[in-house]
C-alpha cells in the first residue's frame, strides 16, 4: 500500500522528480569543472617552412608571437587566380590578448585588389596608417566589425584583418618580417 502511494498520482510524480533532481545534483558535483580558458594553439612553423619553399614570393611571417596572443589556425593553399595562374595563399589566425580575432593573409593572386577586397570584406579604403615606416591602407566593415590593413607589394598582397582593434592589428603588422626563400 505504501509503495503504491509513491508510484502513482501526484506523490509518485513528485517523488520521481526529486529522484531525478538528486541524480542531476550528484552528477554536477562529481563532474570535473574547469574555470580556465582553453584556446586551441597551433604550431605554424611547418607552414612557414612550406611557404618559404613553395611560394614564388618571399613570405612574410611574425618574427615572434605577441605576448598573450595564441596562434589558432594556419592554412596554406595552392590554387589558381582569375587568369588561371597558379597561386599560393597562407592564412595565419590569432586570438589576441584582448581575445579578439586577428588574421594575416598573404597571396600572389592577381589581381591583387581582388584578393585584398575578399580578405577585407571591403573595397573602400578609409585612409592609411604608418607602421614602422611602412604605409598600410586602412579598411573598415562596420556590419561585421572587421578592421583591415592592406599592403600591396610587387609580388605579394598582405592583409592583416579581424575583429581586433587598430592597435592590436598594428602590433601584429609590425611583427611581420620577410623570410628568405628555401630551395
Distance CA 23, CA 43 (A): 42
> Who wins on pLDDT, 95 or 16?
95
At 35 the pLDDT is: 78
Q: Is the pLDDT of residue 9 over 90?
A: no
| Residue ranges in 36-165 assigned as alpha helix (H) | 45-54, 112-120
At 7 the pLDDT is: 64
Distance CA 136, CA 160 (A): 10
Question: pLDDT category, 6, cuts 50, 70, 90?
Answer: low
Q: Assign residue 62 a region: left if phi > 0, alpha if psi is -120 to 50, beta otherwise?
A: beta
Q: What percent of the chain has pLDDT over 70?
A: 96
Q: What is the per-residue pLDDT across 112-153, written as a single tens digit (0 to 9) for each?
A: 999 999 999 999 999 999 999 999 999 999 999 999 999 999
> Who wins on pLDDT, 7 or 88?
88
What does the block give as the cell for 148?
583591415
Question: pLDDT category, 84, cuts 50, 70, 90?
Answer: confident
At 38 the pLDDT is: 82
From the list 154, 65, 144, the residue with the least C-alpha distance to 104 is: 65
At 98 the pLDDT is: 95
- For residue 3, the SS3 value is helix
What average pLDDT score do residues 95-114 get? 96
> Who wins on pLDDT, 141 or 182?
141
The dihedral built from the CA positions of residue 16, 21, 24 and 25, taken in this order, carries a sign that is: negative
What average pLDDT score do residues 17-25 get? 92
Nearest 5°: phi and psi at 127? 100, -170
Residue 31 burial (CB count, 10 A):
7
Distance CA 37, CA 25 (A): 24
Amino acid at each position: 500500500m505504501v509503495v503504491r502511494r509513491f508510484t502513482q498520482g501526484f506523490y509518485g510524480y513528485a517523488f520521481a522528480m526529486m529522484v531525478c533532481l538528486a541524480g542531476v545534483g550528484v552528477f554536477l558535483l562529481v563532474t570535473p569543472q574547469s574555470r580556465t580558458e582553453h584556446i586551441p594553439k597551433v604550431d605554424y612553423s611547418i607552414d612557414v617552412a612550406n611557404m618559404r619553399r613553395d611560394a614564388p614570393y618571399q613570405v612574410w611571417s611574425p618574427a615572434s608571437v605577441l605576448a598573450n596572443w595564441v596562434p589558432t589556425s594556419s592554412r596554406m593553399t595552392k590554387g589558381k587566380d582569375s587568369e588561371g595562374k597558379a597561386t599560393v595563399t597562407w592564412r595565419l589566425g590569432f586570438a589576441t590578448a584582448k581575445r579578439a580575432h586577428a588574421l594575416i593573409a598573404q597571396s600572389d593572386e592577381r589581381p591583387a585588389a581582388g584578393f585584398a577586397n575578399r580578405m577585407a570584406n571591403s573595397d573602400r579604403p578609409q585612409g592609411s596608417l604608418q607602421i614602422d615606416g611602412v604605409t598600410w591602407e586602412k579598411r573598415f566593415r562596420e556590419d561585421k566589425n572587421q578592421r583591415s590593413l592592406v599592403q600591396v607589394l610587387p609580388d605579394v598582397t598582405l592583409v592583416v584583418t579581424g575583429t581586433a582593434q587598430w592597435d592590436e592589428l598594428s602590433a601584429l603588422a609590425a611583427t611581420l618580417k620577410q623570410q628568405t626563400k628555401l630551395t
